Structure 1
């Protein structure tokens, strides 16, 4: 499978790229700085570009089977319109290039999933992450209404732990406290979703 990966140099994106390569996929990594790919640089096709630029993403998307976005804001809680702009670019690129499959990393607590959150989660989402989640909500709704074959991935609090392979995934999961999931497990779920149809046009809540 030919994958165009956005956010490939981020902590989740690197897991995703590594897993895709080990699975035999062909990977194009759209990155601002190819040096961030480290030891993966010689095994992918790096394209230096801006994930929020419709022109850049459209040029990169041609010839691919799926666009997979692991974009994130790192340790920043400021949105700066990243997800709104990147989703618009990805949707436009997919349509222009004839790529129907889009797997998009969001967060649990965004949009309607806020109502399913535990009390501790609601406190964090409505204060510290309020701006970031508002931007993600706009992006997610744009993707849902895009007409593409989309999957939106909604993990709980992300950690840097190893993949366990024992996480739970469903349209909705019960929440207690502030549960977490490793970025490695999130990457594995996203890779599987890109290859299969089970999560076509569905939003997946995932957590340990």
Structure 2
């Protein structure tokens, strides 16, 4: 399978790229700066560009089987219009290139999942991360209105811990923890599973640590 990963040089994106290569995928890594992704592999192509550039987004998606997005805002405290425009470009390019599958990394802090996401996300995220959450909600809404075969993965607080495989996912999960967190390695693992698992096609799922 050929997959293009947007936000590939980010902390979670790098896990996605490495894990996808380990699982024999052909990977196109879309990055803002080539120097931020040091990986080299015969099945890896790095595309440097800005998601605001429709032409280069189209080039990246052409000929692929699936799209993954782990694009993050430049600042978690500001609404990044560039990322919102970038998602519109990704969706338009997917429609134009007839690429259907989309896996999008969101957050448990969005309004729909926040009440069940644990104390810190439920009570502090809406204030501290108001703009980041608003950005995800706007992008989720765009994705749900699209014709793509999407899965939205809503992750808890992300850590740089090791892969554990000890997580659960589903549409109606609840956490009673004070801090609900999971490693980026585990999040990447779940996202890659969605490339071949159709159970959550056109659904938004919560991702949480095992109880």
TM-score normalized by the length of structure 2: 0.92
> How big is each residue's C-alpha offset from its partner over 1:94-128, in whole Å with a ceiling of 9 and x where there is no partner?
00111001110110121312233444322322111
Matches of residues 19-34 of structure 1 in structure 2 within 5 Å? Answer: 19-34=19-34
Between 1:194-203 and 1:126-135, the stretch displaced more is 194-203
Greater shift, 120-129 or 143-152, is seen at: 120-129
Task: Give the CA deviation at 1:74.
Answer: 6.6
Aligned to 2:185: 184
Per-residue displacement from partner, 1:66-85 (whole Å, max 9, x unpaired)?
01011123764323224422
Residue 80 (structure 2) aligns with: 80
Is the 2:157–2:182 contact (alpha carbons within 8 Å) kept by the matching residues of 1? yes
Distance (Å, rounded) in 1 between the aligned partners of 2:6 and 2:165: 23
- Once the two structures are superposed, residues 19-56 of structure 1 have per-residue CA deviations (whole angstroms, 9 ceiling, x without a partner) of 00011000011111111111336651111111233222
Aligned equivalents of 1:125, 1:3: Cα separation in 2: 32
Partner of 1:207: 208
Question: Is the Cα–Cα contact under 8 Å of residues 8 and 17 in structure 1 kept in the other structure?
Answer: yes
Please give the root-mean-square deviation of Cα atoms over the aligned residues, in Å.
1.6
Q: CA separation in 2, counterparts of 1:20 and 1:117? A: 28
- TM-score when normalising by structure 1: 0.93
Q: Which residue of 2 aligns with 1:134?
A: 134
Unaligned 5+ segments in structure 2 are none
Query: What residue in structure 2 maps to residue 35 of structure 1?
Result: 35
Pairing of 1:93-132 with structure 2 (within 5 A): 93-132=93-132
* d(CA) in 1 for partners of 2:2, 2:208: 28
Q: 1:197 to 1:191 in 2, by over 3 A?
A: same
Q: Which has the higher helix share?
A: 1
Q: Quick check: 2:110–2:133 contact (8 Å CA) kept in 1? A: yes
Gaps of 5+ in 1: none
- Judge conservation of contact 2:154–2:204 (CA < 8 Å) in 1: yes
How many angstroms apart in 2 are the aligned matches of 1:158 and 1:180? 6
